[in-house]
Amino acid sequence: MNPALEKTWLLKNALEDSELASVLEAGFRVEIDPAVTSDLTIHDDFDADLWGADLMLCRVDKGRLKLLHGRDVVGEVRAPAKAKFWWDLPDGEVKDLLKKRIGLRAFMPIASLTLIDTPFALRNDDEKIVARGRISQSVVGDDSQYYLSLQELRGYRKEAQKARKLLKPLLDQDIPDFGLKAMLVRQCPETGQREAQKEVQLLPDMPTELAVRTMATGMIDHAVTHVDGIIADTDTVFLHQFRVSVRKLRSLISLLKKALPAQSVESVAPRLSGIAGKTSRLRDLDVFLLDKKHYQDMLPDSHAQGLDELYVQVEKQRQLEKNRLARYLASKQFQNDISDCRSELSETPAYLSPLSRKPIQGVARSLLIKRFRKIESMSAQLHADSDDEQVHDIRKEFKKLRYLIEFFIELLPKKRTARLLKNLKQLQVTLGDFNDYCVQIDFLSGFEDEAQIEMTKALSGLIAVLHIRQIESRRQVEAALARFFTKDMALQIELAFGTKNRGESR
Amino acid sequence: MKVIACYSMKGGVGKTATAVNLAYFAAKAGKRTLLIDLDPQGASSFYFRVKPSSKKWGERFFKAYKTLVKNIKASDFENLDVIPAHLSFRNFDSMLSDLKKRENRLKRLLKGFRKEYDLVILDCPPSISFLSESIFTASDVVLVPVIPTTLSERTFDQLVRFFQENKYPLKKIVPFFSMVQAQKSLHKSTMEAMSTRRKVFLKATVPYSSDIEKMGQHKAPVDLFARSTAANDSYRKLWDEISRKHL
């Protein structure tokens, strides 16, 4: 069934029902329905993921949320005022779509408007409805905008054209894709404009020190945008993103320390390390809480009570840890550390070392080749009886390699780099699994308490399962490395990042 | 997409009222519905206040899907479109007589709507003709209103025989009692006898009602002007039973 064709215009002025009727009465019998007023609060996550996907999540009243895709209603669900995650909603399409789009992010109010819709119908001499329309008044604060929508019904094109002609003197500009989004763009232009990580424009010939400083300050700014969300405990992604930014920044400074004055590195590195260290515990607790289902599935039902006790403990610790971190992030010490790092990194380049002046593209390529060869050699020395520490070192080096690629991706050949990243990600999954099991065992060991027998039994069960998985994943590490370090991979790396530049064309 | 033909060889048995009210309830239930008024008298188009274009497009009805699409009109109700009848539809039989594979013509034509609609309801003229053969082939359900009188019983038996002789699947025939006057003993006894003899009769029945007659006056389905009446309730129940058992 073809949807009715609808066009919308901004009206030049507010329009009374009587004015509308008198304009259209020349061609139709006009039926104007009573106006319907809706107070809408639009919700989105911090990254404006819903806005980006053309989705509008509106609170229509205290107990209900409605999700729209463009102009279509995806669904309406019961949702108490405190609901802020997809898992707070009843099963159905709305929940599924939010899960897909915002994941672990919380949705929160981003804008409010009052919509006053006045539908009308135009009838012909046979009393048949031949066109429908709607006056929409959108009110944000003291500002009102008026729109007129006209729907052409199937088989009644001429009538719609006639109505449009009669209405013409009242109409201002066309509003394509009219809907809530179009109204918000007009009246709340800042909606949906989340501060994304600033795109750093790197040029191949940029001196390395300048490039590093530009990227580093961008990373600090990005990290800082997440601080308020951590303090308010809006969702766990704020802390995760903050940590990713800080980790990348530390990696950048460590990998390219020779491009910066030594005293800058000495000032910034320990501060960043201190900041990162203070966030680790809360992240570990978050990860454990988010994986509850995963842990529940590991144990037989007989351990459910013990596991519940453990979760109570973890929840308590999280509460304390969250408050502690919030206090720290609001403290003078943190503010000073961050502002010192920013001012240190945003200084004008000093160009004290030969590397600092070199064009960034060449430096990046040479670092990538060097890092690849280093990991290749470390991996060659790994065998079945090697220390776990060796695996961890290799994992960290791979992470640095991945970060290096991501930092300079715009200066690298697209297709070859994309292929390499794909292989790299696969390998990192295996290395990451091994690391995760080690971290989880460490984390859980810290909760053992002989006074809580059931909880300790559950912990022992979990640790035993994780230990077996750790051994299994350790067995897979050498094979995964062998799959990665092939002759072809060495050639691909050489072609992508080598001095021959043959990779440029592909 | 399913196709229901409201059909009877006899006139004045409530075909059009059934087609109109069923189409209305189907659309209300969310089925994307197209009502095609095949009866040149155009009564169901009239009930929906839809007029055909002035062109004699009926001559191209079975030949050009695009022409058919162009003549679809929105009703006043969500999910319900109408192809109004045109006086030129009275020539359908002579048109079909000139066409090869005429029995499949309508079926092939309606296939074009399967993405756009969930349900097509055909309001058929009262005759046995090339057109009705085309209708029997195209429909999933041939919904037959039967007034519980001896004459109607005879007409219904003729239809069944026609199906048997021409090897149309008998299970397509879905009869129901229409214009029932419960106070008449003839109606009661005929209904009992017929529904015992033929188990296919639907449980829902439509009463003889002045509310149904008033559809012409209101130019609308009964639900719009006589919502809380037995007549309206009977169409709602008829739709429920058909959608449950046959769609």
Cβ atoms B220, B212 nearer than 8 A: no
Placement of tokens 């009877």 in the chain: B8
**Looking at the DSSP assignment, which residues form a beta bridge with residue B142?**
B5, B173
CATH number for A196-355: choose from 1.40.20.10, 3.40.225.10, 1.20.1070.10, 3.40.630.30: 1.40.20.10
Cα distance between residue B35 and residue A452, in whole Å: 72
Question: Has residue A197 got a pLDDT over 60?
Answer: no
Cα–Cα nearest to A329, from A268, A274, A250: A274
Cβ within 8 Å of B, A 112-141: 126-129
To 10 degrees, what angle do helices A388-407 and A414-445 make? Answer: 140
For B149-200, what is each residue's pLDDT tens digit? Answer: 988 889 999 999 999 999 999 999 999 999 999 899 999 999 999 999 888 9
Q: Which tops the pLDDT comparison, B18 or A350?
A: B18
Placement of tokens 């001499």 in the chain: A125
Task: Identify the pLDDT of residue A199.
Answer: 65
Q: Which tops the pLDDT comparison, B38 or A4?
A: B38
B204 touches chain A (CB under 8 A): no
* Residue in B67, B76, B215 to test binding to A, most A beta-carbons within 10 Å: B76
Cα distance between residue A291 and residue A52, in whole Å: 28
Task: Tell me the domains of chain B and their CATH numbers.
Answer: 2-246 (3.40.50.300)
Contacts of B235 (CB under 8 A, 6+ apart): B18, B21, B22, B25, B206, B221, B222, B223
The pLDDT confidence band at residue A506, using thresholds 50, 70 and 90, is: very low
CATH number for A5-187: choose from 2.40.320, 3.30.420, 3.30.70, 3.30.450: 2.40.320
Paired tokens of B103: 């029995």
Task: Identify the pLDDT of residue B87.
Answer: 79
Give Cα B38 distance to the centre of its chain.
9
Paired tokens of A20: 């509308």
* A201 Cα to chain B: minimum distance (Å): 48
Phi, psi dihedrals of residue B31, rounded to the nearest 5°? -80, 130
Placement of tokens 């800058």 in the chain: A264
Paired tokens of A278: 């203070």
Cα–Cα nearest to A298, from A468, A103, A477: A468
Q: Which tops the pLDDT comparison, A236 or A492?
A: A236
Q: Which residue of A has its CA nearest to B32?
A: A1
In DSSP notation, A88-102 reads GSPSSHHHHHHHHHH
Contact A156 B79 (CB under 8 A): no
Task: Identify the pLDDT of residue A406.
Answer: 92
Total H helices, total E strands in chain A: 18, 10
Helix (H) or strand (E) holding A30: strand A29-32
The pLDDT confidence band at residue A505, using thresholds 50, 70 and 90, is: very low
In DSSP notation, A170-210 reads GEEEE-TT-SHHHHHHHH-TTTT---PPPPP---TTSBHHH
Q: A428: helix, coil or strand?
A: helix
Q: A146: helix, coil or strand?
A: strand
A153 touches chain B (CB under 8 A): yes
Contacts of A2 in chain B (CB under 8 A): 116
CATH number for A359-506: choose from 3.40.605.10, 3.30.830.10, 2.70.150.10, 1.40.20.10: 1.40.20.10
Contact B74 A153 (CB under 8 A): yes
Paired tokens of A385: 């009886």
Contact A2 B79 (CB under 8 A): no
The answer to whether domain A196-355 and domain A359-506 are alike in fold is yes
Cα–Cα nearest to A95, from A84, A86, A107: A86
Cβ atoms B115, B216 nearer than 8 A: no
Q: B170: helix, coil or strand?
A: helix
Paired tokens of A339: 């502002």
For A389-424, what is each residue's pLDDT tens digit? Answer: 999 999 999 999 999 999 999 999 999 899 999 999
Phi, psi dihedrals of residue A147, rounded to the nearest 5°? -130, 150
Cβ atoms A313, A455 nearer than 8 A: yes
Task: Identify the pLDDT of residue A500.
Answer: 55
**Looking at the DSSP assignment, which residues form a beta bridge with residue A41?**
A59, A112
The pLDDT confidence band at residue A61, using thresholds 50, 70 and 90, is: confident
Contacts of B72 in chain A (CB under 8 A): 154-155
Cα distance between residue B152 and residue B11, in whole Å: 10
Question: Has residue A90 got a pLDDT over 80?
Answer: yes
Contacts of B118 (CB under 8 A, 6+ apart): B1, B2, B31, B32, B33
- Would you say the ipTM is above 0.90? no
A352 touches chain B (CB under 8 A): no
* Residue in B81, B83, B116, B225 to test binding to A, most A beta-carbons within 10 Å: B81
Task: Identify the pLDDT of residue A384.
Answer: 84
Task: Identify the pLDDT of residue B145.
Answer: 97
Neighbours of A141 (CB within 10 A): 10
H helices within chain B, ranges in order? 15-28, 43-47, 65-70, 92-97, 102-111, 130-138, 150-165, 185-197, 210-213, 215-218, 222-225, 230-246
Cα–Cα nearest to A395, from A443, A419, A427: A427
Task: Identify the pLDDT of residue A70.
Answer: 83
B51 touches chain A (CB under 8 A): yes
Largest Cα separation within chain A, whole Å, is 92
Placement of tokens 């007023």 in the chain: A37
CA distances from A94 to A61, A66, A76, A327, B105 (A): 16, 8, 7, 36, 43
Cβ atoms A133, A122 nearer than 8 A: yes
Q: Side by side, which strands form the sheet with B119-123? A: B73-74, B80-83, B33-37, B119-123, B2-6, B141-146, B173-177
Paired tokens of A341: 């790092």
Q: Report domain extents, chain A.
A: 5-187, 196-355, 359-506
Contacts of A397 (CB under 8 A, 6+ apart): A371, A374, A375, A378
Q: Measured at the alpha carbon of residue A423, what is the angle toward residues A418 and A429, in degrees to the nearest 5?
A: 125
Per run of 10 residues, the mean pLDDT along chain B (length 247 residues) is: 95 95 97 94 93 76 79 94 87 74 83 93 91 92 95 92 94 96 91 90 96 94 96 97 93
Contact B74 A155 (CB under 8 A): yes
**Residue A301, Cβ density class (10 Å: 0-12 exposed, 13-18 middle, ≥19 buried):** exposed
A156 touches chain B (CB under 8 A): yes
For B198-219, what is each residue's pLDDT tens digit? Answer: 889 999 999 999 999 999 999 9
Conformation bin of residue B14: beta by default, left when phi > 0, alpha when psi is -120 to 50: left
